[in-house]
Chains A and B, each alone.
Chain A
């Protein structure tokens, strides 16, 4: 059975992606200071991360409810329609640093394990 058809793998991937996407959003917002959904989608697409609107917007909404992000509505002069801009909250910044360190630690461990002889 190909991995993509394996339900256990799909569950694992879904859980893995959930945390990973949260970290990606936090890192992207740290870099951009402030961004809105459409722009974040393009940023992720350019970075090679596949994510669709149906996943990103509920994720942003939940992260904001968790207090990791703040948002404000702005209507730029050039676009004519309001955009919801997201920024990292203070809690989000702290969390991102901790998550990034944890991620790098895990990555380091995995590298060590892969090099085991």
Chain B
């Protein structure tokens, strides 16, 4: 770049300044090069034209051409619209989260909502392995040392096969085997100290500190696990699923086997 090209590049880079300031700067640099002699390179003496212009523009009120100003105003309007949309999405998101939020902390095993004396709780003796179907339901499972099942649901619970009659009779008969089904329901359930199998289809399941081996099969479902300090031996097979990392202890007394398909498994 010769000196003439340098001056043109500098003039262009200084376009943001008012005309008088720009002309004085260029004139002063021309004057300087005349002091030095025409054979001196402006680039060598002053550095790149863009950098020199930047130094002159530092702290200056830069005059923006009308088209650029219009673009700037348009940009501001667009960013305003974007901000409004973002705010709207945020409000909707927070409201949705608030409405769908858990009624209480399910991991809290001492929560008043789990108190035995509430009349909404049903009780059924149970001393054998248990098989549970969760169908389009939200169910939170707890374990207790008693040989019984206890549940509190928004709707009635169905007992497929022979077990239903046992329940209907007195609610206190010992049930040796069978299934319990939560269909389009929302429940809190205490399971006996027995091995259990939970099948969930399009359901939301929370398990809180299991005390016996548990096998969980998930199909388009969500499972959250509150370990509450318990240690478990995990076996997780989850194709096409989102699974958080769990610490598996090979020596743990209780095992949790999870087979998940198009589901999510996470910590509570």
Please give, as numbers and ranges, the residues of chain B lying within 8 Å of A53 by CB-CB distance. Answer: 32, 45-46
Q: With A and B bound together, what is the CA distance between A73 and B51 in angstroms?
A: 26
* Interface residue? A55 (CB, 8 A): yes
The answer on a CB contact under 8 Å between A84 and B28 is yes
List B contacts of A73 (CB < 8 A).
Answer: 27
Contacts of A52 in B (CB 8 A): 45-47
Instruction: Determine whether A58 belongs to the interface, using a CB cutoff of 8 Å to chain B.
Output: yes
Residue of A whose beta carbon sits closest to that of B29: A57
- A 67-84 to B, binary, CB cutoff 8 A, 1 in contact else 0: 000000100000101111
Assuming A54-B45, A61-B25, is B55 touching A38 (CB within 8 A)? no
Closest to A42 in B: B35
A52 to B48, CA, bound (A): 13
B24 with A84: CB separation less than 8 A: yes
B52 on the interface (CB 8 Å rule)? Answer: yes
Complexed CA–CA distance, A55 and B58 (Å): 12
Q: Is A106 an interface residue, CB under 8 A from the partner?
A: no
Number of contacting residues on A, CB 8 A? 18
Q: Is the CB of B28 within 8 A of A54?
A: no
Beta-carbon nearest neighbor of B35 in chain A: A38
Q: In this assembly, does A32 line the interface, its C-beta being within 8 Å of a C-beta of chain B? A: no
Query: Contacts A38-B35, A84-B27; is A55 near B55 (CB within 8 Å)?
Result: yes
Judge whether B45 and A81 touch: CB under 8 Å: no
Given A54-B46, A54-B47, A84-B27, check contact A38 B32 (CB 8 Å).
Answer: yes
Contact of B56 among A38, A58, A81, A82 (CB under 8 A): A58
The residue from A58, A62, A65, A82 contacting B31, defined by CB atoms under 8 A apart: A82
Shortest Cβ distance from residue B74 to the other chain A in the assembled complex, whole angstroms: 31
State A110–B76 Cα separation when bound (angstroms). Answer: 50
Note all chain B residues with C-beta closer than 8 A to A81: 30-31, 34-35
A79 to B35, CA, bound (A): 8
Q: Which residues of A contact B27 (CB under 8 A)?
A: 73, 82, 84
Q: Which residues of A contact B58 (CB under 8 A)?
A: 58, 62
Question: Distance (Å) between the CB of B22 and the closest chain A CB?
Answer: 11
Cross-chain contact B59 with A54 (CB below 8 angstroms): no
**Residues A54 and B51 in contact in the complex (CB < 8 Å), given A62-B59, A84-B24, A84-B28:** yes
Closest-by-CB residue of A relative to B54 is A58
Query: Would A58 and B59 be within 8 Å (CB), given that A38-B32, A52-B45 are in contact?
Result: no
In the complex, chain A residues whose CB is within 8 Å of the CB of B52: 54, 58
Report the separation of the CA atoms of residues A58 and B45 in the bound assembly, to the nearest whole angstrom.
13
Q: Which of B56-83 contact A (CB under 8 A)?
A: 56, 58-60
- The closest CB in chain A to the CB of B43 belongs to A54
In the bound assembly, the distance between CA atoms of A57 and B51 in angstroms comes to: 13
Q: How far is the CA of A111 from the CA of B56 in the complex (A)?
A: 36
CB within 8 Å of A: which residues of B?
21, 24-25, 27-32, 34-36, 45-47, 51-52, 55-56, 58-60
A-B contact pairs, 5 of them (CB 8 A): A38-B31, A53-B46, A57-B28, A58-B56, A84-B31
A residues adjacent to B (C-beta < 8 A):
36-38, 52-55, 57-58, 61-62, 65, 73, 79, 81-84
